[in-house]
Amino acid sequence: MALRRILRIDNPDDKKILTTRCHPVRMPNPSLKQLVADMFETMHAANGVGLAAPQIGITQRLAVISIPPTVEERPDGTKVEVAPEQNFVLINPEIIKASDQEEVALEGCLSLPGWYGEVPRAAWVTVEYTDLNGRRQRIRRATGLLARALQHEIDHLDGILFTERIRDLSTLKDYSEEMAPAAAE
């Protein structure tokens, strides 16, 4: 595995790649396993929830997402994992259904570290994709962080940056000196 450099929105050369619509991945593709391992390692090292191939300079329709486990604290102070970590490898993903209802939340991006803005997203989405074994999969009515991450990463594959989704740019702020309000995607 290897850490890859994450391209930045504020670098003009990087931004050209980040705003490019990506090409479909051809399957089968044996080299994907190493690339996916590198993407997960790079994403985790940057404390991210998702990473799309164009963020490491590869204009292919490939993204990884890692939703952290849900942990609840009991009255006695012990912590219990109530939902396990969820990892997704999304090859040629597409949103096939989306809620008409929107949710606005602070969102960040590994390509603009420390910066967060209020981004409206569909409250739920259904996504079809190919997994690493070449099988078609469907995530039905994803909500919460997974829905937001899916929309964010698929936007990357379409050359759309999260900053373009912000309706009120005054909400875009640098939180790097403070505690980050949410995980970056």
Residue numbers annotated as active site = 153
Question: What tokens appear for 150 in the block?
Answer: 């899916």
Give the residue among 167, 151, 159, 161 at the shortest CA–CA distance from 119: 167
Give the residue among 176, 61, 67, 175 at the shortest CA–CA distance from 129: 61
Give the residue among 120, 95, 90, 94 at the shortest CA–CA distance from 107: 120
Residue 109 neighbours by CB distance under 10 Å? 27
Question: What tokens appear for 170 in the block?
Answer: 């005054």
Residue 73 neighbours by CB distance under 10 Å? 9
Q: What phi and psi, each to the nearest 5 degrees, are found at residue 87?
A: -115, 135
Taking CA atoms, 121 is separated from 14, 80, 108, in Å, by 25, 30, 13
**Which residue has tokens 């603009």?**
112
